[in-house]
């Protein structure tokens, strides 16, 4: 299969059967160089026939769009509650933690049942309201511009307040996890606030359902080298587990 049309048809047929293709597999199958395969994938993407990803291509659009929190909360709800329950197990007595915004971290907040004192700093109004039910939790609500779609605050005022805190853990929700681009969200301002949260934390724990892997939002939070642990569900693709663990990230699957 040396001609361009034949290679392209082979790639599209494989995509149709598997939903994704890998550059390494393709150049072995087609007996051409990886450079040739990458050019083929670029041409097919320009025609709208696939989406290129790190090391391959997929039929699924990797770019995320912003959705209201009440809509997102209904997606993968059971997976998010399991992720939240696993994350709650990592809290210890007298912990001081930061909780970012998102429906996965909201599920985490609903699973927190502290027996001893806990300090929480959060940008998310729904998280703060959930945690006020517990007498043992001291909640610091960040102030700033309210994002109506996420019911959370962003902006320079929230960022400046974070400079007064030093916390043990950050529990971070994201809109996309890409092996090449890192962690992303659909808001550039929220991404900037998330970076300040990372700077104020000793350990970064990402809570993400498996649909976020291979996706990208417009706002880049950080590279994967800033992440200590990811808690997700069993739908995560195997190659992500391998790559993440080889990078020194602890992957917990619920």
- CATH number for the domain harbouring residue 41: 1.10.10.10
- Tokens (6 digits) for 190: 């929220």
The tens digit of pLDDT for each residue in 162-217 reads 999 999 999 999 999 999 899 999 899 999 999 999 999 999 999 999 999 988 88
43 and 155 housed in the same domain: no
31 and 128 housed in the same domain: no
Q: To the nearest whole percent, how much of the chain has pLDDT over 70?
A: 94
28 and 138 housed in the same domain: no
Is residue 71 pLDDT above 70, yes or no?
Answer: no
* Residue-level pLDDT at 65: 60
CA distance 74 to 225: 31
- Among residues 58, 80, 97, which one ends one of the domains? 58
**Inter-residue contact 171 to 197 (CB < 8 Å):** no
Q: To the nearest whole percent, how much of the chain has pLDDT over 90?
A: 67
19 and 79 housed in the same domain: no
Is residue 107 pLDDT above 80, yes or no?
Answer: yes
Whole domain around residue 20: which residue ranges?
A: 4-58
Partnered with residue 63 across adjacent β-strands are 216
Q: CA torsion, points 44, 45, 51, 55, in degrees to nearest 10?
A: 70
**Domain assignment of residue 63, yes or no:** no
**Domain assignment of residue 64, yes or no:** no
29 and 81 housed in the same domain: no
* Residue-level pLDDT at 55: 80
- Lowest average pLDDT, out of 47-61, 97-111, 240-254, goes to 47-61
**CATH code of the domain covering residue 201:** 3.40.50.1360
What does the pLDDT average to over 31-43? 91
Write down the mean pLDDT value for the chain. 91
150 and 174 housed in the same domain: yes
20 and 146 housed in the same domain: no
Task: Count up the domains in the chain and report the number.
Answer: 2
12 and 83 housed in the same domain: no
Vertex 251 angle, CA 246 and 254, to 5°: 150
What does the pLDDT average to over 34-39? 91
């Amino acid at each position: 299969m040396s001609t361009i049309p034949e290679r392209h048809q082979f790639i599209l047929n494989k995509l149709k059967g598997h939903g994704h293709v890998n550059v390494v597999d393709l150049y072995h199958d087609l007996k051409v160089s990886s450079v040739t395969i990458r050019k083929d994938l670029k041409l097919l993407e320009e025609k709208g026939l696939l989406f290129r990803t790190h090391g391959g291509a997929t039929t699924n659009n990797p770019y995320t769009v912003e959705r209201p929190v009440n809509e997102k909360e209904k997606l993968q709800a059971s997976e998010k509650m399991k992720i939240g329950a696993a994350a709650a197990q990592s809290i210890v007595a007298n912990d001081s933690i930061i909780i970012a915004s998102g429906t996965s971290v909201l599920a985490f907040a609903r699973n927190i049942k502290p027996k001893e004192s806990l300090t929480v700093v959060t940008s998310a109004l729904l998280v703060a309201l959930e945690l006020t039910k517990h007498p043992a939790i001291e909640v610091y609500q960040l102030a700033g511009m309210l994002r109506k779609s996420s019911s959370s605050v962003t902006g320079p005022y929230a960022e400046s307040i974070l400079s007064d805190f030093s916390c043990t853990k950050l529990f971070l929700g994201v809109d996309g996890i890409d092996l090449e681009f890192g962690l992303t969200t659909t808001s550039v301002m929220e991404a900037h606030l998330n970076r300040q949260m990372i700077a104020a934390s000793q350990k970064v724990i990402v809570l993400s359902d498996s649909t976020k892997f291979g996706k990208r939002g417009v706002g880049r939070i950080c590279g994967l080298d800033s992440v200590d642990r990811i808690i997700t569900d069993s739908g995560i693709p195997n190659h992500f587990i391998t790559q993440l663990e080889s990078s020194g990230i602890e992957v917990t699957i619920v």
